[in-house]
Structure 1
């Protein structure tokens, strides 16, 4: 009887924990987030706090708000009523990647080389807006164009200081998650996972990776205190480290272990269907920007959403370690991909 009573208390506690977690999910902005577990009675930790944006910790600072310039030559109605229409006029694209394939004259090529050599502005050179616009196929509207999807170019969106209006073609990630998600227990030794309740199109935005933004020194301290698995929640904001000459100690790190969004539950795969891209709303702040997940192929509803924790380029490191013994302390990869690298990190 005592054993039955104890089991009854445990089951009641599990039900209450599950109910509280679902209640918290219902408060998260955006479309509904579901919770599914058909394997046992566990629930993700209630220690995890859902937050709508980064939480900046000690020693972390955004660039002064006065540095956030908006595009001034654009307007909401420049021909197609989609805000910014011309990349050569949009000031938000000043530091965006140049489409070198459209530099066709020797004079323009020389000017571009001079700009690179002197660190000058590339505004006025041929560029691309990051997203397909209304008027294209439904599957493409709002998705990343190949120039960004197939590269690691940083994305610069327009902001509230722009003259292009609230529904500019160059605004997307800042509106937040627009898809219905499901957190589920994988039952394959990989803990919890994330999947979408609707079909995703290639280039479609899913959600950002949020958490505490901490200094590099604090990240090192937490990683040493947390052990090997802690590394899977830490993401350095180092996209501009080389181009801006930032020292390692100047780099900020996002820690999504105890606070963040549903993307915390995205598992690793050596053959992922999603990828992380950097998205900035202030072209002058090269230390704090969003980390946004986009689908890199069509993903049917119900398929687990995954990305490469090591952010490998296509073909880079495929099959590495298949014939080697694991290094001491290596974390095994359980993704099950045909060309799995077998080990995540040590």
Structure 2
């Protein structure tokens, strides 16, 4: 197995020889003369200190407790979620499963991030400590390579080279704020990291690789501090999933009707979209029929950026994307979420107060769709709130006020969005489905309110200022979104 000879050779060599284990970045092939053994995965374990995930104004989920995917069914079978399905529902009700499951809908008893099929979970080295969902416990080591050889391949793939280039640009940008020693530790690795395969640094690398693989775009986890804290622990999902109760609430919503089933509205005065088939686009008529008196419609421009000219943080808002009813293709500018144009991001440990936040790993333009908020769609009820940190709930004010997207133990990179008094991004609900035959899965997009440079924080405002003023008898804390901020939040 060869290694890269460019400036990133330090990382490659560390993985190749001195760390005495091989990172699974390019070990998709089965090693010669070895037979894959059975893999058993225990329930999440680890002490409270290992599981701490400090977040500004958000309590830490206890990862050792049943999450939203397995609440009440601790022995439920884990079946790999098929993220190509239009709808995924979490339920252990066998009758319900038989009734609703089809080629577009999958029902699973319990969700936990699975290790990608082309990544090994074999080898003689085993990580000590807490188990992380979707991350191999065992790794291929130097001794395995010496004993079995390798069937060709490269340690660093072209995709990983691109990721390293993004990482290096990000580190160059934040170098002044972290100091030379921490910069060199992250970029070139030091003796402590190289000689200790159990160093938290390697778990950050694992999360970066496997979550990027699931997401389909680059995600990097970093803690550029003298004392590296335990990385966040949760199950990664690139799509929203329903609980059974949430699905039953949502399935009969008018939003799921075919366009021809909706009440016809006058097309006079409706805004024009940038659909590649303007004469056939029905998005504005659909919006008028479903939401006209409830929200402001935001439209994409021809370049795919959202037009934020009429943006008012106090108003309800919704983005309407095209479906097959419009007669356009997947390349239509009005199908941004469907094309998954996500930007490279860094999950960055800011400080003890704010915990982990998001930073841009590449330039982001104003109006650009950065990512979407993924998790499990729940109903708002006492039963659904049980054993769940509701501070990770994102409200669906337009689709249904009875539903929320929860990312406390199951979510994507957007769960790390921090609060700011002057945010760089905003939540907007997105109506999006490729086919009229599919149920609309409620979505929340994260759009840039301004140009965001490499290394800058991607933030939203957790609360409207008017809502904060109305709160009485609520304990408030300092915002701390930036140095010198004197605002208070609940």
TM bin (shorter chain): 0.5 to 0.7
The residue that corresponds to 2:251 in the other structure is 63
Matched-pair contact (CA < 8 Å) for 2:281–2:326: no
What is the Cα deviation at residue 297 of structure 1? 1.2
Equivalent position SS for 1:60: helix
Indicate which of 267, 277, 287 corresponds to 1:84.
277
- What is the distance in 2 between the residues matched to 1:252 and 1:328? 24
1:130 and 2:299 are equivalent in the alignment: yes
Q: Does 2:476 match 1:307?
A: no
Q: Hey, what's the Cα distance between the residues in 1 that align with 2:251 and 2:425?
A: 29
Q: Which runs of 5+ in 2 are unaligned?
A: 1-191, 261-273
What is the aligned partner in structure 2 of residue 25 from structure 1?
Answer: 211
Tell me: higher relative CO, structure 1 or 2? Use CA pairs within 8 A at least 6 residues apart.
1
Q: Which residue of 2 aligns with 1:210?
A: 374
Q: 1:93 aligns with which of 273, 278, 284?
A: 284
Give the aligned length: 274
1:2-45 deviations in whole A, cap 9, x for unaligned? xxxxx999972535533432332231333211121111322423
CA–CA separation in structure 1 for the residues paired with 2:325 and 2:448 = 29
| Aligned with residue 155 of structure 1, among 295, 304, 319 | 319
Is the 1:268–1:307 contact (alpha carbons within 8 Å) kept by the matching residues of 2? yes
Q: Distance in 1 between matches of 2:383 and 2:373?
A: 16
> Which residue of structure 1 lines up, in the alignment, with residue 359 of structure 2?
195
Shift in alpha-carbon separation, 1:120–1:266, aligned structure 2, 3 A: closer
2 CA distance for matches of 1:198 and 1:259? 26
- Does the 8 Å contact 2:276/2:333 carry over to 1? yes
Cα distance in structure 1, aligned partners of 2:453 and 2:326? 36
Give the direction of change, closer, same or farther, for the CA distance of 1:213–1:330 in structure 2 (3 Å limit).
same
Q: Which of 24, 37, 40 is the equivalent residue of 2:223?
A: 37
1:259-298 equivalences in 2 (<5 Å): 259-281=410-432, 288-298=441-451
Alpha-carbon deviation of 1:339? 6.5
**In 2: Cα distance, 1:130 partner to 1:338 partner:** 36
Any conservation in 2 of the 1:207–1:293 contact (CA below 8 Å)? yes
Q: Give the structure with higher Rg (CA).
A: 2
* C-alpha distance in 2 between matches for 1:161 and 1:36: 43
Maintained 8 Å contact 1:68/1:284: yes
For 1:202-254, what per-residue CA distance to the aligned partner results, in whole angstroms no more than 9, with x for missing partners?
111101001011111157633xx55xxx343011212255xxxxxx6xx1111
Looking at structure 1, the residues matched to 351 and 232 of structure 2 have their Cα atoms a distance apart, in angstroms, of 17
